[in-house]
Amino acid sequence: MKRPSTVVELECSACGKKYDASVEQHLCTCGKPLLARYDLGSAATSLTLENLKTRPRTLWRYAEVLPNGHAVSLGEGMTALVPVPRLGASMGLRRLYVKDEGLNPTGSFKARGMTVAVTRAKQLGARALAAPTAGNAGGALAAYAAAAGIPAVIVIPADTPLANVMECQAFGAKVVKLNGLISDCGKYVAEHKDREGWYDVSTLKEPYRIEGKKTMGYELWEQFEGKLPDVILYPTGGGVGLIGMCKAFDEMQEMGWIGAARPRMVAVQAEGCAPIVKAWDAHQNSAAFFENAETIASGLRVPGPLGDLLILSMLRQTKGTALTVTDEEMLHAGRELAASEGIFAAPEGAATVIATRKLAASGWIQPEETVVLFNTGTGYKYAEAWQRALQSARTE
Ligand SMILES: Cc1ncc(COP(=O)(O)O)c(C=O)c1O
Ligand SMILES: [Zn+2]
């Protein structure tokens, strides 16, 4: 399908230097991530609520604000926005929703980033794709690489949930297990990529995963019929989803869809790995490496996120906040969400339930506000964590 992308160029998120979007690009010479820029005036003429009604129900429906390329698609995006009234009532909230990203191919929102990154990598002639992963991104990359017919190398901590390792292997990827964290896996990819000829798909080290993730913001606007919620709670590891949605909101404003008001963005992290919350509480602009990171929410085990400056500035700009939850709280909240609303969540998603409860109790979220929690992954991939959750339920 030929899609009407309006991409113009890439621009450094820190120093503003411009790059040609028609060739392979990774980081800026200053070391910071590049962001895709579009001709939004032209995009706005065809990207309308009316036109969207007739488009395919995948994230490629937002073609004008995505890069060029013949889409490598497995049906990702347009996930359900589920009202959760019982859960909401238990916190005194009247308009609570879960955006259920567990419904994506490979069971997580990582599919969004990978469909776009792999589409672009294929068009640019990449011969092998490689990425470090906390778990779900590896599974998604392996699936889209298989769909594109390109070999993939996934570098993964040895103690990642078994389902993540198995899916990568099933998709035919080469899996390198390391005794360490995603930061160690990232170093491995950086050290090997030139010699091996790998196209590096690491978080924010190529410009297009964020473009796929930003479609979560476009979908909210579409699913709320041209409006945005008041508050968005997002389990933050690398922060790409959060940065991506804020980018989407800026694009929407430039297209005249929304005004200057923004949903207040809330970064939810695990107590055992909370570099962003630590920086936020200390009123800092950047985050220090979080030592000895440990949590059952494997996707939140990102001790040194490359997008720290962007995440913190977006929390400030949207008058948001950042807070932690413990593993035990996540396990408990996962059971609550499953039993009260029928959503089987990843611990990362369950973390947002606890965070909402805390913010509603403190009055930071008001009863009438429209609130969206992101369940970023399916519980079906977290057998180990769920086993623990159900065991602790029996002993309570
Ligand atoms: C289920 C899940 N939730 C959240 C995250 C964190 O995502 P982000 O990098 O967008 O902050 C991950 C990352 O691996 C994940 O797998
Ligand atoms: Zn730069």
The 10s digit of each residue's pLDDT in 137-164 is 999 999 999 999 999 999 999 999 999 9
Residue pLDDT, tens place only, 280-296: 999 999 999 999 999 99
Residue 3 has pLDDT above 70, yes or no: no
The rounded distance, in Å, linking the Cα atoms of 353 and 331 is 11
Alpha-carbon distance values, 182 to 34, 74, 237 (Å): 21, 26, 11
The whole-number pLDDT of residue 134 equals 87
- The CB of 238 under 6 Å from ligand 1? The reply is yes
Contacts of 53 (CB under 8 A, 6+ apart): none
Type of residue at 372: V
Q: Of 379, 376, 288, 283, nearest to 338 (Cα)?
A: 379
pLDDT score of 395 more than 80: no
Please give the number of the atom of ligand 1 that sits closest to the Cα of 203: 9
216, 230, 223, 227: which is closest to 370 by C-alpha? 230
Q: What is the mean pLDDT of the chain?
A: 96
Residues 6+ apart with CB under 8 A from 342: none
- Unique residue bearing structure tokens 């906040």: 321
Q: Whose CA is nearest to atom 15 of ligand 1?
A: 299
Answer yes or no: is pLDDT of 207 > 80.
yes
Question: Reduced to 3 DSSP states, what percent helix, strand and coil does the chain have, rounded to the nearest 5?
Answer: 45, 15, 40
| Distance from C-alpha of 388 to C-alpha of 296, rounded to nearest angstrom | 10
Distance in Å, CA 395 to ligand 2 centroid: 53
Quick one: pLDDT at residue 1? 43
Integer Cα distance of 203 and 187 in angstroms: 13
Query: Span 103-121, mean pLDDT?
Result: 98
**Of the ligands numbered here, which is closest to the C-alpha atom of 35?**
2
Percent with pLDDT over 70 in the chain: 99
Q: What mean pLDDT comes out for the span 344-359?
A: 98
CA torsion sign, 231 to 286 to 211 to 248? positive
Cα-only R_g, the chain? 19
Q: What percent of the chain has pLDDT over 90?
A: 93
Residue 18 CA to ligand 2 center (angstroms) comes to 9
Q: Write down the pLDDT at residue 103.
A: 98
**Spacing, Cα 189 to ligand 1 middle (Å):** 19
Ligand 1 neighbourhood includes 136 CB (under 6 angstroms): yes
When pLDDT is averaged across residues 58-78 and rounded to a whole number, the result is: 96
Q: What is the pTM of this model?
A: 0.96
**Rounded alpha-carbon distances, angstroms, from residue 18 to 4, 36, 39, 116, 270:** 22, 10, 15, 21, 36
Per-residue pLDDT averaged across 30-42, rounded?
A: 95
How far apart (Å, rounded) are the C-alpha atoms in residues 73 and 71? 6
Q: With a cut of 60, say whether residue 335 has pLDDT above it.
A: yes
Q: Which residues of 122-160 are buried (b: 16+ CB within 10 A; e: fewer)?
A: bbeebebbbbbbbbbbbbbbbbbbbbbebbbbbbbbeeb
Find the angle CA(288)-CA(292)-CA(298) to the nearest 5 degrees: 95
Q: Quick check: CB of 236 below 6 Å from ligand 1?
A: yes
